[in-house]
C-alpha cells in the first residue's frame, strides 16, 4: 500500500455497509490488518446490526445509528483490551454487518409423500410445498451457530438447511393436526400459521426468526387423487336415471349430433332405466307354484253316498271284494263330475275274469 493509501486508511476512517445484493445476510467490513482508528465513525443503517469480534470472541453488538468508536461505545471490547484508562492508538477488531431485514419468497417442499392419519380416509400420504420468510433475531447466535468466519454469507448458504428443518418438522405438525385433508384447502392460511408456531422454536436455535410460512398446495399422490375423483364422480352423478335422461336430452338438442349418437344414447337410457328400476325395486320373495291336485283322493258312490277317499290300490281291493264295478260312479278333484269307474280307471278292470254265464 502506498503512502497516500496508508494515510487515507489511518486518518479517514468510516465504517459502514450499503447492500444492493438483496441476498446477503452477513458481510465483514474489509480492513487492512483489521486495524480500526480510535474515534472512527461507524454508521449502522436501519435493518442492520454491527458485531465486533476481538480475537475470535464476540464483543459488542451495536444497532442502527452513528457512532464514534470510543470506550463508552465499546464497553465489552474496552474490557477485553484493558482500555479502562483510555487509549488513542488504532486497535484490531473485525466488524460484521448483519442484515436484519426479512428474507422473503424462500421455497420449501416435500421430496416425497408424508404418511399421516386422516379422520375420513384413515391413512393417506400427503405432499406439500410453499414459501417462507425469515429474519435474523439474534446476531450473536447467528454468527456463532451458522456464519462462523465467513466474510460474505448469503441466504443461499442456509436456505437448504432451513427448508430441511421445515420438512422434517412438518410431519410432526401434520400428525398432531386433525383437519381432514378435504378441508385443508379452505384452511391454508390457518394451517400455515399453525406450522409457523410449531417450527419457530427450531429456528430460534440458530438466531433466526421464522416470520411466516405460506402453504401453496397440499396434495395426495396421483393414485389416491384418482380414487377421490372416482368417488366424487359417483356422488355428482346422483340419480342414475335422471342423469342418463339429462345426457339424452343434451344429445337430442345437439343439431350436429349423429344418428349413431342418438341411438347410442337411447340404448344407454334404456339400460339406465333398467338399472335404476332394478336398484329401486325391492327384492321379491320367490313364489313356488301350488302342488298339483292329488290323484289319490278318490271317492265312490255307494247307496247314494260318497265314500272315501281311496287310493288306486284301495279301489283294487274294493274291486276284488266285489264292492266296485265298472258301473260304479267315482269322483276325484280333477274330474268335472261323477264318472263311471270303467271309463276312468279302465286299467283296474283289464285282468278281471269275464262274468260267469250259467
| Side-chain half-sphere exposure of 193, counting CA atoms within 13 A | 3
Residue tagged 385443508 (cell numbers): 184
Instruction: Give strand ranges (E) for 137-234.
Output: 152-154, 208-219
Burial of residue 113, with CB atoms counted within 10 A of its CB: 0-12 exposed, 13-18 middle, 19 or more buried: middle
Please report, in tens digits, the pLDDT of each residue of the chain (358 residues total): 454 454 444 545 899 999 888 899 999 998 777 788 888 899 999 999 999 998 888 888 999 999 988 877 787 777 777 666 556 667 888 899 999 999 999 999 888 788 877 777 777 888 888 999 999 999 999 999 999 889 999 999 999 889 988 888 777 777 777 777 777 777 788 878 888 888 888 899 999 999 988 888 888 777 777 777 776 776 666 565 665 666 666 666 664 555 455 445 455 555 555 655 655 554 555 566 655 555 578 989 888 888 888 888 888 888 888 888 889 999 898 888 898 988 888 888 876 666 555 5
CATH number for 103-223 (one of 3.30.56.10, 2.40.110.20, 3.40.30.10, 3.30.479.30): it is 3.30.479.30
Dihedral of the alpha carbons of 104, 105, 110, 114, in degrees to the nearest 10: 70
Q: What is the DSSP letter of 144?
A: I
CA distances from 257 to 241, 260, 261, 344 (A): 22, 8, 6, 71
Instruction: Give strand ranges (E) for the chain.
Output: 14-15, 24-28, 35-36, 41-44, 48-54, 57-62, 65-68, 91-92, 94-99, 103-109, 114-118, 122-136, 152-154, 208-219, 298-302, 305-310, 329-331, 339-340
CA distances from 192 to 3, 4, 183, 213 (A): 59, 57, 14, 5
Bridge partners, residue 272, by sequence? none
Q: What is the pTM of this model?
A: 0.57
Distance CA 166, CA 256 (A): 56
Cell of 251: 344429445
- End-to-end alpha-carbon separation of the chain, Å? 174
Amino acid at each position: 500500500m502506498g503512502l497516500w493509501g496508508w494515510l487515507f486508511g489511518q486518518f479517514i476512517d468510516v465504517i459502514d455497509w450499503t447492500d444492493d445484493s438483496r441476498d446477503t445476510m452477513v458481510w465483514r467490513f474489509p480492513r487492512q490488518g483489521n486495524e480500526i482508528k480510535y474515534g472512527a465513525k461507524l454508521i449502522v443503517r436501519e435493518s442492520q446490526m454491527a458485531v465486533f469480534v476481538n480475537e475470535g470472541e464476540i464483543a459488542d453488538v451495536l444497532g442502527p445509528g452513528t457512532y464514534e468508536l470510543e470506550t463508552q461505545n465499546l464497553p465489552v471490547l474496552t474490557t477485553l483490551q484493558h482500555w479502562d484508562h483510555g487509549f488513542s492508538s488504532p486497535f484490531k477488531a473485525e466488524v460484521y454487518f448483519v442484515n436484519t431485514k426479512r428474507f422473503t419468497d424462500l421455497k420449501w417442499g416435500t421430496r416425497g409423500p408424508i404418511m399421516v392419519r386422516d379422520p375420513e380416509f384413515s391413512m393417506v400420504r400427503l405432499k406439500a410445498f410453499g414459501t417462507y420468510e425469515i429474519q435474523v433475531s439474534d446476531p450473536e447466535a447467528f454468527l456463532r451457530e451458522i456464519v462462523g468466519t465467513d466474510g460474505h454469507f448469503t441466504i443461499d448458504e442456509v436456505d437448504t438447511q432451513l427448508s430441511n428443518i421445515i420438512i422434517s418438522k412438518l410431519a410432526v405438525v401434520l400428525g398432531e393436526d386433525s383437519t381432514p385433508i378435504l378441508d385443508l384447502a379452505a384452511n391454508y392460511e390457518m394451517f400455515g400459521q399453525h406450522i409457523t408456531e410449531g417450527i419457530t422454536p427450531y429456528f430460534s436455535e440458530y438466531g433466526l426468526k421464522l416470520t411466516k410460512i405460506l402453504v401453496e398446495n397440499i396434495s395426495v399422490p396421483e393414485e389416491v387423487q384418482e380414487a377421490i375423483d372416482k368417488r366424487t364422480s359417483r356422488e355428482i352423478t346422483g340419480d342414475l336415471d335422471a342423469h342418463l335422461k339429462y345426457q339424452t336430452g343434451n344429445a337430442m338438442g345437439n343439431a350436429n349430433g349423429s344418428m349413431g349418437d342418438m341411438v347410442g344414447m337411447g340404448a344407454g337410457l334404456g339400460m339406465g332405466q333398467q338399472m335404476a328400476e332394478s336398484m329401486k325395486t325391492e327384492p321379491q320373495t320367490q313364489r313356488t307354484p301350488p302342488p298339483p291336485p292329488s290323484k289319490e283322493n278318490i271317492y265312490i258312490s255307494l247307496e247314494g253316498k260318497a265314500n272315501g277317499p281311496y287310493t288306486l290300490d284301495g279301489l283294487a281291493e274294493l274291486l276284488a271284494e266285489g264292492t266296485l264295478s265298472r258301473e260304479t260312479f267315482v269322483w276325484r278333484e280333477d274330474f268335472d263330475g261323477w264318472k263311471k269307474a270303467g271309463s276312468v280307471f279302465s286299467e283296474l278292470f283289464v285282468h278281471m275274469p269275464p262274468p260267469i254265464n250259467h
